[in-house]
Structure 1
Amino acid sequence: MERLKRDGLTITWLNGGVTHMDGGAMFGVVPKPLWSKKYPHNEKNQIELRTDPMLIEKDGYRILVEAGMGNGRLTEKQKRNYGVLEESSIEKELSELGLTPGDIDMVLMTHLHFDHATGLVKEENGQYLSLFNNADIYTSTIEWKEMQQPNIRSKNTYWEQNWKPIQNQVKTFTDELEILPGIRFIHTGGHSEGHAILIIEHQGETFIHLADIMPTHAHANVLWVLAYDDYPMTSIKEKEKWMEYAKERDAYFLFYHDYKYRVLKWDEQGEIKEALERERYDY
């Protein structure tokens, strides 16, 4: 487990599983000769996308950001289609930290696509149950509404079995919500209509999780957005806005999906000047 530590703030990355998705879809209209220089791919043209939640410990609270792929939640066909070669080991890693899922106080969901939300639920004896049963689960009002009433496009990623078991724990917000002093959840739209980002301000430092409007370090170009985005122009606009915000504050970027980096900071020339890498990666 990789960990970023500051006085009064700890962020630990937990193993939530891994997917391998089509590289062309993940980089939209960007030609392969360009994106393949920035991010590796396999012989199927798939790129490795981690689904590793962040455990934030601050002010006596334990906050999980995203929920991973879960364990035992996917059929063999789904595993094959989504390139899931490893499922979640969050419960095991929480145990190594002396914690259980019941010790999580809040879960922050930037959006509720299956690769973020499947880990919210476990299956026991044919029943779907909330894994983090004592936590308040936060997401945007728009995202929660679409999760329950998906359209013809989004029904493939908003699964009923991922929302029904947690519905009594969900708390929503409209534009912005301060979770704790210094931790803000902000609605952006773009990737989905209800997509949100997370900003942490702590003792003069800024940490930003842009979630799926910048899922990997290779998406730093504001024009490089996903074919999966429901509103790509919104993704571009919001990414440009928040990357400028990050530049002004010399901020760190946090990642859920990146195969290599957990956190990094770019210099004025766009070169990586600080980074925390995953201890294990396949490429």
Structure 2
Amino acid sequence: MELAVITAEQVLRLLLMILIGAVCCKWGVFQPKEKSVLANLLLYVVSPAMILDSYMVDFDPAIFHNLLVTFALSTVALVVGMVVAFAVTMRTPRDKRGIIWLACAFSNAGYMGFPLVRALFGDEGLLYASAFVTMFNILIWAVGATYLRGQADPKQIVRNVVTCPCILAVVAGLIIYLARIPIPEIIADPVGSVGDMNTPLSMIITGATIASGNLPKLLHNPNLFRTLGVRMLLIPAVTLVLFALLGLHGTVPTVVLLLEACPTAAMTTMLAIQYKQDEELAAGAVVFSTLSSIVILPLYALVLTAVL
């Protein structure tokens, strides 16, 4: 129950930040097209700084063991999501199948998940969340983008993975953490301060996305509600049942399950544009799954409390 209450309180805080982003967009503080600048700032500077900051802690064998477990469980959870999404969409028309699968399979762990995990579990939880996001980025570029493109390009896959800022931050962080490299405060403090921008900036971008979307038009897409049901209900439920059957409990599986239960990945819209897929459905899945998460995530946390 305590986890559910804390989750609800945190989601409400995030909602207020989302409203700020929506109001700023509607009132012309910045134009909808300018949110891409904020998104780039988040992707290339703020999120990597937050990840790097989470590794600037004293080495602890128990935490390192948990980190390795998180990599494994994150891979399991993400693969489960992809398999469930594939099973649901296999009879979908070919021209819609790829983007529906992507919108169902991958969660918005970076935008919505990082702020939530940091509020619930502190810097240790954020360390585990970085492992999930590492596997997320590897799989969304290696499998997700390839599925949308319709053909594999190994060079492009490797390029996308090895140049991903968050993955580079994890690699640098692991080197600092495992080698126990001392970081001077004159460097660590600015990195931490920039990383602290992650929550408000990601929520402002989310709010701008909602405000710039044509919500009534998005609701008319016939595939939207099936996508929302799979992303927000079916995949989290299947993953939770699997973890429960495996007898998993504690902080690590809880972090992984919360990240897997987040809304549709914001990257879905970008990939839809890049590979000429249904942009309207992609935007609708991101917007409405984010709105539904305001209610669903606290309820899911309540279920986690009872099961794990």
Bigger relative contact order, structure 1 or 2 (CA pairs below 8 A, ≥6 apart)? 2
User: Aligning the two structures, in what range does the TM-score lie when normalised by the shorter sequence?
Assistant: under 0.3
TM-score (norm 1): 0.26
Structure having the higher Rg: 2
The structure where helix makes up a greater share of residues is 2
**TM (normalized to structure 2)?**
0.24
